[in-house]
Structure 1
Amino acid sequence: MWNTYLDVALLSHPILAFISITHHPKMNSKTTNLQYFIFSFISLLVIRCLSSTYYSVPPQYTLDVCTSVDQPNPIATLFPNNATGTLNGTIAVLPIPLTLARKLIPSQYGILEHAYRALLPSFPEGMYPAIVQAMHDHEVQAFGYKIEDFSRTGVEFPFVDLLGDGYSSFKWAPSLLMTAGHEIALKGAADYGTNTFAASFDPGCDAYRPVPNSKNPGTTYFSASSLEGRESLSTLFSLTEEEMYPLSFFKNFTNQPTFADGKTCDNMIRLFNTTLSSAEKGIERVKGTVRADIHPFAKEHEWRNVYGLRLDTAFIENNYLSCESFRGYTSHE
């Protein structure tokens, strides 16, 4: 309001100054008139600039308004009092040496090699299946309240023995690149102890985008870059007929309780029996390349000829639960 008054005064100043000079008996010299006009105008201008600085609101990062091609949340009305939504994107297995996995995963947690070998008997000896997820969260809601869509990606480590019982499988997710400006999503992940990095995504409103004129059919691209740090992750996948890993393996690790600092666990139940993905509808096998420069890796890594799935699933999420409550967990059916 104060700035508005000053703006009006500045606009009206030439007229007011002319009237004052014309009718004031002591202001009859041209020099005095000009000095008065300049001095008063500059004074108003300085006050206006100072008031703009004092009352200005710090700029904030705002979410772009965009439209996604993701399918609607099919279970929102079935579970109105739970957090539900859809996850659309690409999940792939990143084989890394078991010795490297042992260095990356905190030493107090064991690795349940027998658990993943029971699902993947032919997985190479001395190797561990790290996971990349490049996902777009769509129509996330609970109790009738819906939040804006957002994207996220990171490298995760399943089949971790968080409780030390040699049996219960957990997934360690230490870091995430997430949509910048989406404070609900960023804070929600950070509360688990996750290293969160506000990032820009390509595409900004979807799980991936087609690559035009690609030699390989169904080629899609996805990338995320931290706004302030070195962290980045990109994927380039094409359709394949090869089934390197069975769907049961993906169902298992995507539904493992997830943790970061081990204080609480996230129970995200991915559903493979809804209209989005029932009977493998909408699930595509893909093969491609992943580049990642994100904690806990010390430098950028590239994986070529990795296999995964491009899919859309509905989910139910239960947040900040006791990890102990999942003792004995092996899979969700």
Structure 2
Amino acid sequence: MMHCIRWQYRFTHQKRTVWIPPVLGAVAFLIYFIYFCPEYSNPVDPADVFDKDVCTCGLCKPKPLRTPWFEQHFNGSIEPLLVRKDQVLPDHVLKWWLQLQGLNNASHLPWVLEQLFKVIPSGDPYEEQYNRPCRSCAVVGNSGNLKGSHHGEKINAHKFIIRMNGARTSGFEADVGSRTTHHFMYPESAVHLSHGVHLVLVPFKLQDLRWITSALSSGEIKFTYTRVKQFLQADKDKVLIFNPAFFKYIHDNWTNHHGKYPSTGMLALFFALHICDEISVFGFGADQKGNWHHYWENNRFAGAFRWTGVHNAEFESKLIAALAQEGRLKFYK
């Protein structure tokens, strides 16, 4: 009998000993979580409790100092995207934009936009800049300097990965990565997109807005100034329209009228500058031999993209270098 009592005592005492430390640990963790992580324990806290100089994830570095040079050029009041509530363009913007690729009838614009926003979302997914996670963005150009770069893994590590025009990843993953979140294009450079990718249309004329509406619905438009895709594979709910006012702002404030208008790469880069917290730039400029070409092709006229009469690639390269010098982005050659 005494032997049984001793055995029972040892069992119950040992059981208490085993369970006490985990219970105390759980209580300590709960107290720490409630008092030191209020943004997680109380997710309905208003946005004004957050420090607006850093991202709410707490991992981003504070914004770089606004130097006189940057202050002179940057204008945060101009939105990168055209949305329903801000669809009335200033007259000076409208006049400049409608002359980029031939005169258009401005009186048709309200009707064209009305039809457009029946097909695609009418809001701005990046309007909220503070109460959100950090955004690390890779802007991936199409330069031949990406061949053999082995930047693919580094590019894939970013939250947003922005590509443009005829960019391709299949067969080039080691150098350019495999993921895409945003693809900038215009009708004449359009490519089909995978599910989940944002199509960012850069419109140069009213017909471009008509085309995207048609390409995602009826397929009635097959021609702009050249033959274009009748239908486009893309998620309608992820289509975004680049704002002509933002287009002109880049031309006036950043590329300073070098070239007729900025390249698609410049538009993508400044889109990132306005919505991202950390920016990495890949695939811009000449390759290691000084040639200008796309990474997926062998171009006999490798200097053709240096100065086309439309864009000034050399000036744009210097602008990227200046932004890197300012600490606004990391530039990978």
TM-score after normalising by structure 1: 0.29
Structure with the larger helix share:
2
TM-score after normalising by structure 2: 0.29
Higher relative contact order (CA 8 A, sep 6+): 2
Structure with the larger strand share:
1
- Structure with max Cα Rg: 1
